[in-house]
Chain A
Amino acid sequence: MDERRLKESFASAAAYGDEVALFFYSHLFLGHPEVRDMFPVSMAHQRDKLLSALGQIVADVSSHDTLLPFLRGLGRDHRKFGTLAEHYPVVGASLLATLAHFNGTAWNEELARDWTEAYTVIAQVMTEAASNDEALNPPWWGATVVGHERRTMDIAVLRVAPDLPFGYVPGQSVAVECEARPRVWRYYSMANAPRHDGTIDFHVRIIDGGAVSSALARSVGVGARLRLGAPVGTLRLDMNSRRDVLLAAGSAGLAPLKAIIEQAAGLDDPPRMHLIFGARTAAGLYDLADLEKTAAHRPWLTVTPAVSAEHEYRGETGTVADVIGRRVPPADQDAYVCGSSAMVSPTVNRLKSLGVPQNHIYVEDFGWSES
């Protein structure tokens, strides 16, 4: 297997951009129409994902330390889509046909052999990871909505009860699919530490034009069924750290940080925590009452609400980054940041300017550009 040839042939196909993925999926669905049902109606997002995953695999083809965990994760992750071992050769055949098509006359036996070999390894790692996971977890967790509360015009808090025990670490998130939007999965953070009754809270903020968020906040009600993937994410409380903790939440980015606060509340010696909870308007501070109640009898926890678009607000005004600049002393601390891209990057920059090293800043970027 010649890595250079592999990369070159991928690059010359990838130059066609979206068309490559379009050809690949059409080829796959023509040969195996039964696979079509595993995908959403609109494939635009899907094509982007395929190309970026392939790009990453090819880029990392020689660095096994990063490639193998990525492929294993991908294999486990594909279980929730209903992917089975027998799907892998089918996909491989379409991938090769696509590459051959876009490489045109440059395609030859050698390249075909290289790619077959490479794909076999990829498929093997993915299926192995999937079957290892099978022993531990279901492909997805069915769950019922048991509570649905519309807190503001665009934020709803959902409480769901999974059918089977769903283990996770506070700060993690999970892919969620609802019946109203089949085959479309979106990630949401668990907003509570694991409870005895197993229920989970999700804070759903409606993205304008967002298919899943608007369905979850508006059309889904108590009794609706959801599917949850496996918990993912690296935002989690560093238990070995003795430093103070700063939690910076933008709007519904509060969810994973609230779970972390609940986790800390269960510790014998919780670290000092300062939560800065920002929103555009005072009404957007949708969970402030509960947070203040939590902080009232926990001297280690400080909650500072901040409003950016209402100057007449009586508390802190400005962005979360502004408030950090005013209220947080420049010192090394562990910082957990979660919110939209527009909130995360200035907040991280402000933290760095206060002397917080990059490796003490933990970030969950919600992106909020659902399509």
Chain B
Amino acid sequence: MIRASYEPMTPESVRSATFTSSRLGRRGLDEAEVRAFCADVSDGLGRLMNDNSMLQAEVMRLRERLLEGKGRSGVQPEDGHVQAVYVLSKAQQTADRYVADAQEYSRELAEDARMRSDEILREAKVRASMILEEAHTSASRAAEAARTLNPVPAAEQQELQAEIAYLRTFSDVCRTHLRAYLESLTQSIEAWEQAERSGARAARAAKESAAQSPEHVLSATTGTRARRTPLEGCPPGGSPAWR
């Protein structure tokens, strides 16, 4: 406790007494409790001092009366002065008390306001850090999501590869069909040529049967075509892999 030893103890000195805080890790007293107790002691001391000065005045008065009774007569002018001194002292003490109370009140208000502002700041900081943390979390979640989203193009790639594989197969099939078609076309041309040759021989053999030629050839071609459609049953009718 910081207090010069030669200073008399007064309600003010009790109220404004400061204590050094105990070192970290050592047990200390609750500061608010100590303060409240000092305020109580200060009030009590002030009351006692008031009472004391009133009693002193009373003692003085009685002592004077006693001396009076023992032969001194009349009120001494000094006695009147002492009475006046006590009256003025009382007035001064009352004024001091008012000022001290007002200051105490403003101190409490200011302290309270400071504590609240600290609290508000602390809360704001907590909230800010929470918001920041949230932002961090959602950012890292987004990053995580980005990482897990990568396989989607991979799937697409797979699909594409499957498609490429299908297309490759399709083109092979087409080529095979095309070749088969071309072969069959060549065969039918050959067949047609053969037919024509044999027709020409027949015409040469029997000149009068001319009605036979174009119509017959045509129907024969159509028949060949219907029989040898190469792409039948294949895409682009609709393979399940295609669409």
Contacts and interface: CB of A to CB of B under 8 A. Distances in A.
Nearest to B81: A30
Nearest to A15: B8
A371 B18 contact: no
A209 interface: yes
Interface stretch (B106-114, B147-155, B166-174, B215-223): B106-114
A45 B53 contact: no
B97 to A, nearest CB: 9
Interface in B10-35: 10-13, 16, 18, 20-21
Contacts of A43: 92, 95-96
B85 A18 contact: no
B91 to A, nearest CB: 9
Contacts of B108: 208-209
A221 to B, nearest CB: 20
Contact of A42 (B84, B86, B88, B99): B99
B110 to A, nearest CB: 4
Contacts of B202: none
Contacts of A214: 106, 110
B56 interface: yes
B7 A26 contact: no
Contacts of B20: 341-342, 345-346
A141 interface: no
Interface in A180-235: 206, 208-211, 214
A76 interface: no
A103 B53 CA distance: 15
B2 interface: yes
Contacts of A165: none
A47, A52, A208, A342: most-surrounded residue (chain B CB, <10 A) = A208
Contacts of B162: none
A41 B106 CA distance: 17
B112 to A, nearest CB: 9
B114 to A, nearest CB: 7
Interface string A356-371: 0000000000000101
B145 to A, nearest CB: 30
A6 interface: no
Interface in A315-349: 341-342, 345-346
Contacts of B111: 208
Given A342-B18, A369-B18, A26 B92 contact: yes
Interface string B92-125: 1101100110011111101100100100000001
A344 B47 CA distance: 35
B12 A48 contact: yes
A41 B99 contact: yes
B110 A30 contact: no
B4 interface: yes
Nearest to B78: A97
Contacts of B21: 342
Nearest to B16: A369
B2 A341 contact: yes
Nearest to A365: B2
Contact of A48 (B13, B53, B99): B13
A101 B96 contact: no
Contacts of A153: 114, 117
Given A23-B85, A369-B16, A48 B7 contact: yes
B9 interface: yes
B110 A206 contact: yes
Given A209-B106, A342-B21, A345-B20, A48 B95 contact: no
Contacts of B12: 44-45, 48, 371
A22 B94 CA distance: 12
B116 to A, nearest CB: 12
A51 interface: yes
Interface of B: 2, 4, 6-13, 16, 18, 20-21, 49, 52-53, 56, 81-82, 84-86, 88-89, 92-93, 95-96, 99-100, 103-108, 110-111, 114, 117, 125
A-B pairs, 6 with minimum CB distance: A209-B107, A42-B99, A208-B110, A17-B8, A26-B88, A55-B6
11 contacts: A26-B84, A30-B85, A30-B88, A44-B12, A44-B96, A44-B100, A209-B105, A209-B110, A210-B107, A345-B2, A369-B18
Given A26-B92, A48-B7, A209-B107, 11 more contacts: A14-B8, A19-B52, A52-B4, A55-B6, A59-B6, A153-B117, A208-B114, A209-B110, A210-B107, A341-B2, A371-B100
Interface of A: 14, 17-19, 22-23, 25-27, 29-30, 41-45, 47-48, 51-52, 55-56, 59, 101, 153-154, 206, 208-211, 214, 312, 341-342, 345-346, 369, 371
